[in-house]
Chains A and B, each alone.
Chain A
Amino acid sequence: MSTIAETADLLPDVSAAEAEFARRKSRETWRRRLLPAAGILGALALWGAAVWIFKVPPFVAPSPVAVFATLTAKFGLLMENLLPTAIEAICGFLLGNVTAIVIATTFVHKKVLEEAFFPLVVIINTIPVVAKAPILVLLLGNGMEPKIAIAALICFFPTLVNMVRGLESVNPQAMELMRVLSASKTEVFLKLRLYNSLPYLFSALKISASTSVIGAIVGEWIGSTTGIGALIIQATYAFDSALLYATVIVGSCFSMLFFLTITLAERLVVRWQAPTGH
């Protein structure tokens, strides 16, 4: 009897605590959504106010309203120029990463090759992109190829380094297990190394999703008549600051979208908890 009475006494308390928890949680969720939005809107307002108060001329910096007007008025032009940049960035991303994955796999299986060529890769990586770009334009001409090559080069290095680490940093006891099971090299690769490398690979892919766009844009600066990079140069020389800002926003939105796609893919593929907390 007494237990029933106690439970009855306890129940309202428990449900009250649960309700309080739910309230706090939903408040927390809204906080996380609203605060960034408020921050962005605040910055835009500040920008608009600064342009208006200091009477900044439109060829130096546009007001947010002017940028928004350009974004809608010249939406066709912006998309027309985004297309080649997007193609270059995505092709470069694929080319650079696939090459890096293949080379990492070779390095892991043939240590001699890793020892011979890894220093060379490091040296090439130390050359800045803006220095590599003209070389590639001379080599590959004025079309999309040099831009794809630049984007690919930028993606290549982080993925190679991470992939080699991911393939090699296998739990030593899991390696011993594979040996006890008499697993072949291919089986060790497919069942152990490859999965082990996936969290490492995705952290590299997230980096290269945004850097590949940078690579394509830098390539277009060197020599191109279309693309986000070309449009940036044209708008700058025409003192059309509203178009310049609009172009930058389009490029960065694409970059963000690319990054989010990779993050989503990571969530779908890497469903287990990564041991090192990537």
Chain B
Amino acid sequence: MTAPSTATSALPVAGFPPAAVTAAGEPAVSCRNVTVRFVTDRRTVTALENVSFSVEKGGFLSLLGPSGCGKSTLLRVVADLVSPTHGQVNVLGMTPQDARLKRSLGFVFQDAALLPWRTALQNVELPLEVGGAKKLPSGAPTPRELMKLVGLEGWEGSFPHELSGGMRQRVSIARALLGGPRILLMDEPFGALDEITRDRLNEELRRIWQETGTTIMFVTHSVYEALFLGEQVLVLAANPGRVTELVDVDLPRDRTLKIRETAPFVSIAAELRELLGRGV
């Protein structure tokens, strides 16, 4: 299911690996038999049980499942925010910790998690002020270029409370892209937005993915979003969180929202819903 690079005329953005090179089928992230248990006062919760999957470099994997299926936990395992109880996690040939320390990961949270005392541009610049990576890799897009990439040129000096929810999330995407991370992890980033804004951002995220060639893992509980965005959809079931199936999305690389009314889209959506139903 490696999309041939000829299918798209994406403009490579400086500082990111060109899409043609990254779509080589080598995994960017792979998990083997990952189990995560949380021990609380009353009981032990198994958030994930024996989860195995991999995402190829330059891929776009949607993680779809009901609440409580551990999809956010899975993303946090990859980001080294949660340590797995069992199993192996490999990120770009490294441990998640090394990948984090090398700034190979960008994370976009459900609420934009912008610092309210910083302007939009200062929020995008934050990664350059902490954690030892005080300089941009040569050729990597500057904060201003990233603001432009996410469609926020002219809003650099605005404070978060002056921006709409959609704009805040764009700022947070620009921040996650600073330094040209190889992998972008997104935890229901558009979940709190209205449908119209969400549709528009979905289209833009596809464009950004094509332009940057970054590998993306995207958590959602919307079948449409998972399918529209992903090249693959990992369907998860809850209690305990486990993989139901990995579905390849056989849709063209260049997608507009209209694709949601086409027959292939509708039939894969039906298949995903069927899989979600089975997992309950």
Q: Chain A residues near B113 (CB, 8 Å)?
A: 171, 173-174, 176-177
Pick the interface stretch among B100-108, B194-202, B208-216, B217-225.
B100-108
Q: Chain B residues near A181 (CB, 8 Å)?
A: 103, 126-127, 130-131, 133
Contact of A25 with B by CB under 8 A? no
Chain B residue with Cβ nearest A187: B130
Chain B residue with Cβ nearest A179: B81
Across the interface, B130 reaches (CB within 8 A) one of A176, A183, A272, A273, namely A183
Secondary structure dominating the interface of A = helix
CA distance A260 to B131 in the complex (A): 39
- A272-B116 contact, Cβ under 8 Å, with A180-B100, A182-B132: yes
Contact of B14 with A by CB under 8 A? no
How many A-B residue pairs lie within 8 Å, measured between CB atoms? 69
Q: Chain B residues near A275 (CB, 8 Å)?
A: 116
Chain A residue with Cβ nearest B109: A173
Are A178 and B130 in contact, CB atoms less than 8 angstroms apart?
yes
Q: Chain B residues near A184 (CB, 8 Å)?
A: 130-131
Q: How large is the interface on A (under 10, 10 to 19, 20 to 34, 35 or more residues)?
A: 20 to 34
CA distance A188 to B131 in the complex (A): 10
Which of A171, A176, A180, A184 has the most chain B CB within a 10 Å cutoff?
Answer: A180
Smallest beta-carbon distance B224→chain A, Å: 25
CA distance A237 to B261 in the complex (A): 91
Contact of A235 with B by CB under 8 A? no
Chain A residue with Cβ nearest B172: A177
Are A191 and B110 in contact, CB atoms less than 8 angstroms apart?
no
- A273-B115 contact, Cβ under 8 Å, with A180-B107, A184-B131, A191-B129: no
- A272-B129 contact, Cβ under 8 Å, with A174-B113, A177-B107: no
CA distance A176 to B110 in the complex (A): 12
Q: Chain A residues near B111 (CB, 8 Å)?
A: 171, 173
Could you list 21 examples of A-B contacts with CB < 8 Å?
Answer: A171-B111, A174-B113, A176-B76, A176-B109, A177-B109, A179-B80, A179-B81, A180-B79, A181-B103, A181-B131, A182-B100, A182-B101, A182-B130, A182-B131, A187-B130, A187-B131, A188-B130, A191-B130, A198-B117, A273-B116, A275-B116
